[in-house]
Structure 1
């Protein structure tokens, strides 16, 4: 599936648009704003004075609002010596304006989830928050202010430079990302798509401040921007606020630089070889394809899915069973200009890379000899459209998807792409693969000259205006209810009960409500076993849930996947120790069928040997790759330091070598025995939130679970407090550009402790928010880390927990990072938090908690937790109340009581021996 579709997958997982006809809207449009067009509930407006485009997608179903300002400038607009400038400018905009010097801090105070991203075609800035007209008006004012008044000061650039460099080095630790970047650089001869947005280190480090300001003045203008507002808001009020904030900005007098560079058709294979320390072997092939707006894009997108899907794809069947790859992948890169499609395979050490690459390319370039089948096309089309339907159910994410569509030509392209996927034929998909997946159009890990190359066809620019002239899209949209995420309302709306089964107990928390697309989120948790019965079962307790959907006596892995897709479902299963979580998402019409299918598959799982072998190969590859990664090494070292359990205890944290040994020795018979012994209906909890019939769902659950055995009785595995002797450790990771620091101290506290609310707020103020002490010192002031945070874990069952901190950084900055963290700990103990700081933190933290309760998936997960602890959302309300009453004196007293810097154990992992 294309990156365009993938971004929309993240962004369009459902939105409830309130469609408003142009006549009813006419009276609400302020003077100076013109309504342009509407498609399926999204309406485009334009400011007459300066050309700013506005997209409004109202949705009353969730109490949140998202604003996304998209500027049509990305790395493709950068000239010689300017690479990375668009991305650097994205960072600089958060440094503020004369009237607001710290934008991220102000966002945090108001509980906004805000960030910015840069791609080759666009830069966007977005924020989500609990619906509030004043907050929305404030954020629009900031966007207008930032559009024309960003300071872009030399001192801010100097501190942010190390942060951007840190982000750059973080990407350099990933072999795939570097291989992808190198392949792009030789796939394109002239076009800037050959350069990734992060830019060249030399350009970023030596950027001219005057040149950066000129870049900003050229592209950050209303006629080059699209303002997108989605979620809960009043349309008339928003348009009035937009007019008030942006209407006074004049239309720029400059003319945008023309774009005329077109890459020629590739005329021969190109290759690149990358050598780095660590990671799994990779082989890949890249081909040029049309732009996302081109009529052929839908066909090549589906062709890529047919080839790369797991386990039904051509590449998977050609490479994984024959031990030429551990896993395969493929994706199209949608662009405004012609883009690329990339396929690849991850190998286990020892596999023949030359042979694997040969199999990869021959499979891709032999479609004319081995044509696609209608079954293959129907399968991936079903997957694509299922993803599209799921996209259309989350108002918070819709602005991101619209931003990506705007970037590649027009926001209506998202709907047009869906229509093209519906209509594309097998012959068209076959022709697209034949045309573009050719030897002369390939960039891979080898160079192979050829006497008679076969070239891909030239590209032509689509006439979008003609295609979209009378386009209206689907007009039938069902509205969703406005849901109040207040804890009292959640408790009142939720049906809670305990059902006695013949073979166990079923606890239910069912919250039926209307949702966009009639979606429902369901979580089923199985609990079984105790410390004694689970001895020696660690790897089996992890692998068994991972392989539950791999097959039964009657159904193969692919057949299970196809049935889930046919029901429009998403299913995720994870677990370890004595619990397994099954997450399901689908529509009201299919939830009962999906629950029955999944529970039957889980009950009858038989772990086919081929699937077990493939799983072991992937897991071994992942573990071996982690053995050279700073983050994985440091995290595991710290976890092992706080681990007193014997090796056969389910709570034991193994070393990398012990994990490899355990996976290597894993047998199918072990999984079958573990499944037979432990997987039963002894204790099961289910939570569902969304559009469903609670009576029908309860009946389905009871009928399915009545066929289960009882299983081993469940007793919670304790995790008691233990004194940990502090230790400062390090791990050397040669040739890694980025380093990782993590530290933690034990806490003797339960979340019922009177100090818990104050400690949670203290953690937020110290290192969780974008106004926290550590963030402001380590990232904003000194620019030492791209990300630095604290984390607080406190048990609901026993007085046991931990308080930790982590940061990523350049290896040469290790001493500065550790000193800054230590000094901020000491400063908060000595000076404490100010009253204004505490009150601002309370407001922000309560807003974040309210935002979390507005998500259906979050609600279902929370109910599972409350079923386990015997609580309801009244507990959350009480915690909110306690937080709202806190004073600086109370918070500071709790910090001084629990924060003990001398009791932290730490690990720093990185290449600390390389020369600066």
Structure 2
């Protein structure tokens, strides 16, 4: 009998094995590198990349189509991007009348989702709890061939994309970049920007988009990537289940074959629009990403333009000729540009800046670079490559670009290619490619305007984005300062995040909290390997209420990186670069924020450097004057930014001057910068820097990192700082008001609607109101996005948020962008939704979905050491224990429908709305003629 049972068991196991093998026979393994396995699904030719990491219950599912804006022809530019938008409109299965829209279904799991289009590819992705992988695969397979692509959806989405285009036209650097590419590449399809020409966006027929879809959206033109927590056999079975029904493309997919003709001399373009800074960009033609010369060009870009020791910074910023300077090489599949850019005050001449850039290039071409400079860049990128791969979503993003470049293995081998670069290689590529006759130079010549308001906390963000991706939905661009403690309170697209029991290593020492050298230290060991993330802060107490010059806090924090009494800024920066560490120290008017990520083996060295920067700043007078010019130049740029000016006008309408949430005008900021003295900076540092209110959270591979020993050694006998609660007088709700801020030549205007609520994070009504607001204006699934954007097609971005310092009385506001000709229509449509929200509240179904969304996002948010560190820091700053992680989802879950709807009526009065209109509108709010 026993023998019979044993044989029966063996027979069952054998049959199960055979069954599993039969299911996987269609998957041909191509190769494995760096832990990534590549498979070919033979029935339809789809590529598959699998990177298994079961440390956290989160996974990213991504599908990359090898079609981008380079596949477009004259008349249908922007089609790839517009089609990307329509791919979210649904299928017969995933539509509101059936299972719900794609965004609804995914967001209700807590997923982070989006899509991007670029020159060589289009990708769709979702990072979500790993038990929802099947849902993601079902959706991606379904929309690969079953997207509805309805004419009425296209008509609504066209105006959304047009508004995205208009927002880009508001930005001088984006505008100049577009013009340079169009001039540098006159034949190659990189000539036109990914978002396309405006007339094509407006006029492309739905038939063109359907044809594009039916030509390129096939499995043999796609790479499916799954990263994170899964079992290989399970996901391969799911791939077979959902993608096995889809055949290969019925026809060959057309590929661009146009080659760029030879350039017979330098080209120059000039853009004149309202602005405050001049810009000169010089761009040189270079080959594609996999060309043997690209690693040397990438290193050249770093040596010329990255960090305090960079040649451009020494040449322009340190001499006060420029506000910022950078250099970079694109890494596109076919061709690209090596760009050198300088932004500068209007006191300098474009021709002088242009000539100086040419001098820098000539010197490089004559003298070359040193082995030490090459080694420094390679060491920096090597470390940052490891540190940057923190979470499945980041890895998916990097793999996406490697796939687009033509070889996913470059994600693994890219650093090895860099390590082979010699100074001779760098000299050779500088001489070969940085040739004047092969250059295109762009001048942005500003037409200056009058002054208005600006948020002083943004003064360090003066570097332009070098590669503006076109996302389906942008990050929040105009919210006020988002410190770690305000992720929940100010960003409608982010939720307060917490641990899952599988993320943290559940030992007795999972959370360690103790005083070390006077610092409140929380240490959390996770499954991260070989690196840690540190987030820290120092409270400024009532500085904002007591100071005559609120710019001093930001100026002081920025001065810390300008050298110490032990190392000048060049030596100090080089020490950090060798470790691949970006040590961030910045300040608002309420606290100093500190953060870095480093390899575990380097933690002691980084702590030594952190202590040196915080405790022993050099405070050089020349550096201080230089910094003041940079601050001034950056603040001046906001004069032509409808979002900045509108946001500040809203704060000034809600709060009295002197309140921590009140924003000063540009005139006041400029005067404060001009009048700031180094003595004030030194006095601020002496009073506020210290351990009295310092919190530090370290997350990651903390075992054996010896943080405590490092802190005791480096921060011994460091006293000082304040430990006091910020004071703010209760503000009464302001009367209803409408204000127009006129800024000429801005094709996209900004709307702000808001009012004072007085809510503090500790209030019992906070979470109910947060859920209510989340329902109205959070992400794709918020009412505002689904109506004003998706149904009406009036805006690219609309959201509602909770603003203000979390320990003082906050405020609520809606922000949206509209074409000036559609502004009143957009305002009316927005107010319809706000009115309905206030009068009728939210539904029981919405409450259930939002709770599921918020709680599901815990796993996703905690899948990175950075997210975990910032969240724990926000808890301890508020006087909570890290264990609040376990309580927060319970607080969300226990909120009742009555509490949520009562909170809306309690804090929002329709007759007290403050409305700010900012952009190319006249005093009546009508479009400028």
TM-score strictly above 0.5: yes
The residue number in structure 2 matching 1:428 is 425
The residue number in structure 1 matching 2:599 is 587
Deviations 1:332-366 (A, max 9, x none): 11121121111110011211111111111231244
Stretch of structure 1 that moved more, 528-537 or 303-312: 528-537
> The residue matched to 1:589 in structure 2 has which SS?
helix
Query: Following TM superposition, by how much is the alpha carbon of 1:904 offset from its aligned partner in structure 2, in angstroms?
Result: 2.7
Q: 2:874 aligns with which of 862, 865, 882?
A: 865
Relative distance call for 1:865 and 1:837 in structure 2 (3 A) is closer
> The residue matched to 1:80 in structure 2 has which SS?
coil
Question: Within 5 A, what are the aligned runs for 1:86-101?
Answer: 86-101=80-95
The residue number in structure 1 matching 2:515 is 499
For 2:507 and 2:825, the matched residues in 1 are separated by: 48
Relative distance call for 1:826 and 1:487 in structure 2 (3 A) is farther
The residue number in structure 2 matching 1:364 is 361
Query: Following TM superposition, by how much is the alpha carbon of 1:665 offset from its aligned partner in structure 2, in angstroms?
Result: 2.0
Question: Within 5 A, what are the aligned runs for 1:163-242?
Answer: 163-242=160-239
Question: Does the CA contact (< 8 Å) of 1:74 and 1:120 recur in 2?
Answer: yes
The residue number in structure 2 matching 1:676 is 686
The residue number in structure 2 matching 1:457 is none
> The residue matched to 1:789 in structure 2 has which SS?
strand
The residue number in structure 2 matching 1:894 is 903
Relative distance call for 1:61 and 1:345 in structure 2 (3 A) is same
- Identify unmatched segments of 5+ residues in structure 2: 1-16, 96-100, 445-498
* Counterpart check, 1:343 vs 2:356: no
* Counterpart check, 1:109 vs 2:108: yes
* Counterpart check, 1:44 vs 2:32: no
For 2:561 and 2:663, the matched residues in 1 are separated by: 26
Relative distance call for 1:735 and 1:42 in structure 2 (3 A) is same
Deviations 1:695-739 (A, max 9, x none): 83123223322232x325321212343113132211011101111
Relative distance call for 1:645 and 1:354 in structure 2 (3 A) is same
TM-score of the two chains, using structure 2 as the length reference: 0.87
For 1:28 and 1:499, the matched residues in 2 are separated by: 59
The residue number in structure 1 matching 2:243 is 246
Deviations 1:223-250 (A, max 9, x none): 1011111111111111110111001111
Question: Within 5 A, what are the aligned runs for 1:277-316?
Answer: 277-316=274-313
> The residue matched to 1:359 in structure 2 has which SS?
helix
Query: Following TM superposition, by how much is the alpha carbon of 1:874 offset from its aligned partner in structure 2, in angstroms?
Result: 4.0
Question: Does the CA contact (< 8 Å) of 1:365 and 1:439 recur in 2?
Answer: no
Relative distance call for 1:228 and 1:603 in structure 2 (3 A) is same
For 1:391 and 1:713, the matched residues in 2 are separated by: 34
Relative distance call for 1:643 and 1:269 in structure 2 (3 A) is same
The residue number in structure 2 matching 1:723 is 732
For 1:78 and 1:500, the matched residues in 2 are separated by: 60
Query: Following TM superposition, by how much is the alpha carbon of 1:694 offset from its aligned partner in structure 2, in angstroms?
Result: 7.2
Question: Within 5 A, what are the aligned runs for 1:420-499?
Answer: 420-445=417-442, 484-485=500-501, 493-499=509-515
Relative distance call for 1:694 and 1:659 in structure 2 (3 A) is farther
For 1:851 and 1:219, the matched residues in 2 are separated by: 31
Stretch of structure 1 that moved more, 365-374 or 116-125: 365-374
The residue number in structure 2 matching 1:400 is 397
Q: 2:521 aligns with which of 492, 495, 508?
A: 508
* Counterpart check, 1:268 vs 2:277: no
> The residue matched to 1:701 in structure 2 has which SS?
helix
Query: Following TM superposition, by how much is the alpha carbon of 1:846 offset from its aligned partner in structure 2, in angstroms?
Result: 1.2
For 1:764 and 1:835, the matched residues in 2 are separated by: 14
For 2:894 and 2:695, the matched residues in 1 are separated by: 34
The residue number in structure 2 matching 1:456 is none
* Counterpart check, 1:541 vs 2:553: yes
The residue number in structure 2 matching 1:451 is none
The residue number in structure 1 matching 2:850 is 841
* Counterpart check, 1:757 vs 2:767: yes
Relative distance call for 1:233 and 1:28 in structure 2 (3 A) is farther
Deviations 1:369-418 (A, max 9, x none): 22222222222222222222223443221111111111111101223322
Deviations 1:520-574 (A, max 9, x none): 1112322355359942241111211122121112211121111112233231111
The residue number in structure 1 matching 2:73 is 79
The residue number in structure 2 matching 1:64 is 58
For 1:296 and 1:850, the matched residues in 2 are separated by: 42
Q: 1:739 aligns with which of 733, 749, 758?
A: 749
The residue number in structure 2 matching 1:151 is 148
> The residue matched to 1:367 in structure 2 has which SS?
helix
The residue number in structure 1 matching 2:374 is 377
Question: Does the CA contact (< 8 Å) of 1:28 and 1:236 recur in 2?
Answer: no
> The residue matched to 1:443 in structure 2 has which SS?
strand
> The residue matched to 1:681 in structure 2 has which SS?
coil
Deviations 1:73-132 (A, max 9, x none): 011000121100001100011111122223222222222211111101001111111221
* Counterpart check, 1:906 vs 2:915: yes
The residue number in structure 1 matching 2:29 is 35
For 2:544 and 2:154, the matched residues in 1 are separated by: 58
> The residue matched to 1:711 in structure 2 has which SS?
coil
For 2:648 and 2:564, the matched residues in 1 are separated by: 35
For 1:768 and 1:491, the matched residues in 2 are separated by: 36
Question: Within 5 A, what are the aligned runs for 1:520-539?
Answer: 520-528=532-540, 530-531=542-543, 534-539=546-551
For 1:221 and 1:432, the matched residues in 2 are separated by: 39
Query: Following TM superposition, by how much is the alpha carbon of 1:887 offset from its aligned partner in structure 2, in angstroms?
Result: 4.3
For 2:858 and 2:63, the matched residues in 1 are separated by: 25
* Counterpart check, 1:775 vs 2:791: no
The residue number in structure 2 matching 1:519 is 531
Query: Following TM superposition, by how much is the alpha carbon of 1:741 offset from its aligned partner in structure 2, in angstroms?
Result: 1.3
For 2:705 and 2:74, the matched residues in 1 are separated by: 65
Q: 1:608 aligns with which of 597, 620, 634?
A: 620
Relative distance call for 1:662 and 1:772 in structure 2 (3 A) is same
The residue number in structure 2 matching 1:478 is none
Query: Following TM superposition, by how much is the alpha carbon of 1:915 offset from its aligned partner in structure 2, in angstroms?
Result: 5.3
The residue number in structure 1 matching 2:120 is 121
For 2:774 and 2:22, the matched residues in 1 are separated by: 41
Stretch of structure 1 that moved more, 850-859 or 66-75: 850-859
For 1:744 and 1:553, the matched residues in 2 are separated by: 47
Question: Does the CA contact (< 8 Å) of 2:700 and 2:865 recur in 1?
Answer: yes
* Counterpart check, 1:700 vs 2:710: yes
Query: Following TM superposition, by how much is the alpha carbon of 1:421 offset from its aligned partner in structure 2, in angstroms?
Result: 0.3
- Identify unmatched segments of 5+ residues in structure 1: 1-22, 448-482
Question: Does the CA contact (< 8 Å) of 1:84 and 1:204 recur in 2?
Answer: yes
For 2:324 and 2:861, the matched residues in 1 are separated by: 35
Query: Following TM superposition, by how much is the alpha carbon of 1:642 offset from its aligned partner in structure 2, in angstroms?
Result: 3.0
Stretch of structure 1 that moved more, 717-726 or 903-912: 717-726
Question: Does the CA contact (< 8 Å) of 1:773 and 1:824 recur in 2?
Answer: yes
* Counterpart check, 1:53 vs 2:69: no
